[in-house]
Amino acid sequence: MATATVLGGPAAHWVESFQKAREEGSGSGTWRGRWRRRSVISFGSKNRTIGVAAKNQQITHANNTVSNFKRFHGRAFNDPFIQKEKENLSYDLVPLKNGGVGIKVMYMGEEHLFSVEQITAMLLTKLKETAENSLKKPVTDCVISVLGTAFDPFLGGKNFDEKLVEYFCAEFKTKYKLDAKSKIRALLRLYQECEKLKKLMSSNSTDLPLNIECFMNDKDVSGKMNRSQFEELCAELLQKIEVPLYSLMEQTHLKVEDVSAVEIVGGATRIPAVKERIAKFFGKDISTTLNADEAVARGCALQCAILSPAFKVREFSVTDAVPFPISLVWNHDSEDTEGVHEVFSRNHAAPFSKVLTFLRRGPFELEAFYSDPQGVPYPEAKIGRFVVQNVSAQKDGEKSRVKVKVRVNTHGIFTISTASMVEKVPTEENEMSSEADMECLNQRPPENTDTDKNVQQDNSEAGTQPQVQTDAQQTSQSPPSPELTSEENKIPDADKANEKKVDQPPEAKKPKIKVVNVELPIEANLVWQLGKDLLNMYIETEGKMIMQDKLEKERNDAKNAVEEYVYEFRDKLCGPYEKFICEQDHQSFLRLLTETEDWLYEEGEDQAKQAYVDKLEELMKIGTPVKVRFQEAEERPKMFEELGQRLQHYAKIAADFRNKDEKYNHIDESEMKKVEKSVNEVMEWMNNVMNAQAKKSLDQDPVVRAQEINIKIKELNNTCEPVVTQPKPKIESPKLERTPNGPNIDKKEEDLEDKNNFGAEPPHQNGECYPNEKNSVNMDLD
């Protein structure tokens, strides 16, 4: 299953820092993205290019194109791995002031130095922009997959590519006397061709050629390789495959027989030898039903859907784990010895919080580190130092109890989130009764504070018991410490204090004691984490670069608009537009287009945006009338045809009216005269403009435009349509109405009967009075 959140590790700190840096804006969108080792950023004289477009510049602008930088996170510049990788990079790595890795490039015509974190933020910014363009809404959250459990960071597709590159470098040096490593462009081309060859060998076992034209010094080079040779060449890498598999089974406490199915993902798993090694280890066929390149991204997408309130997913949960055990070390109050405690074991559920209790008279320092440095794929095992400040002894000189909450959050980041000191405050005798309830509340741990809420929430997420309170248990590395206790050890003392002897006289009342939790500040110094000032500077720099990229994009768009106009119009002037411009203007416009094209590739290669805008306006002054004449010649006949049809329609109706057609005999004659007048006026106008337009040539501006004809059609419809569509008045037939007694009678007969019975007493039935219908109607009208 793909891990869908950021796990712990030295590299995790930059994720947290730049997560904050990238959260600029609002919205509820989420995005998924797979971190590609070929993520490329190219720096130019005016802007940056990121992604696929930058990859195309990887060879032409090799010194200013940054790629393969993911594994530089969390490492110092003097790290042996950095020094080894430095030899195979097209760009320069330099040390930063803090000892980290810096990347030197030329940007905006000046030399710039960027940290690996800044380069990563540039990539995340581009991914965020791409996601927002696709989702059509702001994106504020993301899910990043980071390998955990068991893996080898130096066993991947790139390592297999390097074996091929080394082989062909040696062959070309012997065969052609060419040193590919001496020219970075040649080396990059060889890397690209070796990657293609590796993919071909996954589906072909025969000899496959490798040909590169003009490789170095205008020489073409060639070579060949088959799958058997490739597997022999990579035998050392193939032997490493089983190591993380054994580690995985050990950590999960499973046997090979317990595994029912194996699904492999990742580009390198397409290599047949890799598949065979994994299948042999598990003793069963392996499954490749998932897209090897997209599986991890799909796992991230699922986690995005789970976290986003905009999506409803089936009941599904992912419990992340701490991949490396984390311990705390501290100095005792009055001794030189150190105390050590492992707070989170390997594969401990995350997020999770624990509360440790210390006995101290003053401020103290805790240092967090990875318990198994050999198991961490980075040379630095330290996580950071945390100083708990403002700690003081009790008024009676006793040590204070300090509660420290350690936490691994949802991002896998370890930190000491809060610290508090339990302070005993005596109360006056007259305050005892009024503050008794408050004292009782203070003596037990507060249940409604934000801190405890977080603890309960975190543990429920991890599927564990509620709040964990623990002593910093002594290990074999430290002697027993009387300074570190827990609430549980206090219970027997409390019981003894409450014991009373029957034969002794009653003791005097002791003053009431209030227990108050005082929040303590914590100074955190994390390894490789960016300081607030430096982070703000990075954010400001990134903002300026984003603005510059936007301005450069607008400038390039303006330049491209001129170029497109030149190509489009030159083609159409020799085609559909040819009849709509006179010969003299035709030749002069063609010359202007050619001059503009030459200007674009010479003097106008690098001009300001306004220069391109002005140039386009100059061309459009001549080109737009030609384009309009062409469009009008296409649309005008259609509009005239539609107008003629409407005139015929209304003229026929007027003729039918004069011929006493029953369909229109309900229309007033004065209204129909308005229709005839409008038809005659519009018909006269149409004949006049059509005759005038017939006298014009195609290269002259039209007498009437399609839009004017459309307006005439609307005017005609507005005048005539309400008249000719008048509905005929409805003639209602006499209604038959039912009397209270007897059959239906005609209303006239009823009226006659009412006259005859005028003044007579109304009939009665069943004790009720039923007035006649006419009286009822008259009553309603009154």
Can you tell me the distance from the alpha carbon of 481 to that of 339, in angstroms, rounded to the nearest whole number? 8
pLDDT recorded at residue 314:
85
Question: Which residue matches tokens 């320069």?
Answer: 92
Is 485 in contact with 355 (CB distance < 8 Å)?
A: no
pLDDT recorded at residue 614:
96
- pLDDT higher at 216 or 455: 216
pLDDT at 26 over 80: no
Is 468 in contact with 353 (CB distance < 8 Å)?
A: yes
- pLDDT higher at 529 or 382: 382
- pLDDT higher at 454 or 216: 216
pLDDT recorded at residue 11:
36
- pLDDT higher at 562 or 429: 562
Confidence of residue 163 (pLDDT cuts 50, 70, 90): very high
Confidence of residue 186 (pLDDT cuts 50, 70, 90): very high
Q: Burial, 606: exposed, middle or buried (Cβ in 10 Å; 0-12, 13-18, 19+)? A: exposed
Confidence of residue 298 (pLDDT cuts 50, 70, 90): confident
Give the HSE-up count for residue 484: Cα atoms under 13 Å, Cβ half-sphere: 24
What is the mean pLDDT of the segment spanning 20-35? 37
pLDDT recorded at residue 521:
95
Can you tell me the distance from the alpha carbon of 661 to that of 500, in angstroms, rounded to the nearest whole number? 122
DSSP 480: -
Can you tell me the distance from the alpha carbon of 569 to that of 578, in angstroms, rounded to the nearest whole number? 10
Confidence of residue 396 (pLDDT cuts 50, 70, 90): confident
- Residues with Cβ within 8 Å of 707's Cβ and at least 6 positions away in sequence, in order, are none
- pLDDT higher at 767 or 132: 132
Coil, strand or helix at 339 = strand
Can you tell me the distance from the alpha carbon of 727 to that of 652, in angstroms, rounded to the nearest whole number? 18
Q: What angle do CA 421, 487, 342 make, to 5 degrees?
A: 85
pLDDT at 495 over 60: no
pLDDT recorded at residue 581:
93
What is the mean pLDDT of the segment spanning 32-51? 64
Using one digit for the tens of pLDDT, what is the confidence trace for 532-555?
899 999 999 999 999 998 999 999
What percent of the chain shows pLDDT beyond 70?
76
Element (H, E) at 456: helix 450-462
pLDDT recorded at residue 470:
53
DSSP 59: T
CB burial of 123-135 (b: ≥16 within 10 Å; e: otherwise) equals bbbbbbeebbeee
pLDDT recorded at residue 484:
45
Can you tell me the distance from the alpha carbon of 331 to that of 478, in angstroms, rounded to the nearest whole number? 10
pLDDT recorded at residue 441:
35
Q: Rounded mean pLDDT of the chain?
A: 79
Using one digit for the tens of pLDDT, what is the confidence trace for 686-707?
999 999 999 999 999 999 999 9
Confidence of residue 475 (pLDDT cuts 50, 70, 90): very low
Element (H, E) at 545: helix 532-573
Inter-axis angle of helices 116-135 and 12-22, to 10 degrees? Answer: 50
pLDDT recorded at residue 40:
82
pLDDT recorded at residue 333:
66
Confidence of residue 480 (pLDDT cuts 50, 70, 90): very low
- Residues with Cβ within 8 Å of 614's Cβ and at least 6 positions away in sequence, in order, are none
HEC assignment per residue over 357-411: EEEECCCEEEEEEECCHHHCCCCCCEEEEEEECCCCCCCCCCCEEEEEEEEECCC
pLDDT at 340 over 70: yes
What is the mean pLDDT of the segment spanning 440-465? 37
Can you tell me the distance from the alpha carbon of 182 to that of 125, in angstroms, rounded to the nearest whole number? 34
Using one digit for the tens of pLDDT, what is the confidence trace for 750-761?
454 444 444 444
Q: What is the DSSP string of 651-662?
A: HHHHHHHHTT-T
pLDDT at 434 over 50: no
pLDDT recorded at residue 397:
85
Can you tell me the distance from the alpha carbon of 388 to that of 369, in angstroms, rounded to the nearest whole number? 17
What is the mean pLDDT of the segment spanning 569-585? 92
pLDDT at 774 over 90: no
Is 90 in contact with 188 (CB distance < 8 Å)?
A: yes
Q: Burial, 370: exposed, middle or buried (Cβ in 10 Å; 0-12, 13-18, 19+)? A: buried
Q: What is the DSSP string of 503-537?
A: TSPPPPPPPPEEEEEEE--EEEEETTPPPHHHHHH
| Strands annotated E in 48-108 | 48-50, 65-66, 92-95, 101-107
Using one digit for the tens of pLDDT, what is the confidence trace for 237-277?
999 999 999 988 988 889 999 999 999 988 889 999 999 99
Q: Which of 190-199, 425-434, 460-469 has the lowest mean pLDDT?
A: 460-469
What percent of the chain shows pLDDT beyond 90?
48
pLDDT at 738 over 80: no
Confidence of residue 741 (pLDDT cuts 50, 70, 90): low
pLDDT recorded at residue 375:
82
pLDDT recorded at residue 402:
94
- Six-digit token string for 399: 């040590």
- pLDDT higher at 401 or 40: 401
Q: Which of 295-299, 520-524, 624-628 has the lowest mean pLDDT?
A: 295-299
Say which amino acid occupies 121: A
Q: What is the DSSP string of 184-247?
A: HHHHHHHHHHHHHHHHHHTT--S-EEEEEEEEETTEEEEEEE-HHHHHHHTHHHHHTTHHHHHH
pLDDT at 133 over 60: yes
Confidence of residue 204 (pLDDT cuts 50, 70, 90): very high
Is 347 in contact with 148 (CB distance < 8 Å)?
A: no
Can you tell me the distance from the alpha carbon of 363 to that of 520, in angstroms, rounded to the nearest whole number? 10
Q: Burial, 650: exposed, middle or buried (Cβ in 10 Å; 0-12, 13-18, 19+)? A: buried
pLDDT at 739 over 90: no
Pairing of strands 92-95, 338-344: unpaired
What count of other Cβ atoms lies within 10 Å of the Cβ of residue 445? 14
Which pTM does this prediction carry? 0.68
Using one digit for the tens of pLDDT, what is the confidence trace for 625-653?
999 999 999 999 999 999 999 999 999 99
Confidence of residue 14 (pLDDT cuts 50, 70, 90): very low
Coil, strand or helix at 320 = strand
Confidence of residue 465 (pLDDT cuts 50, 70, 90): very low
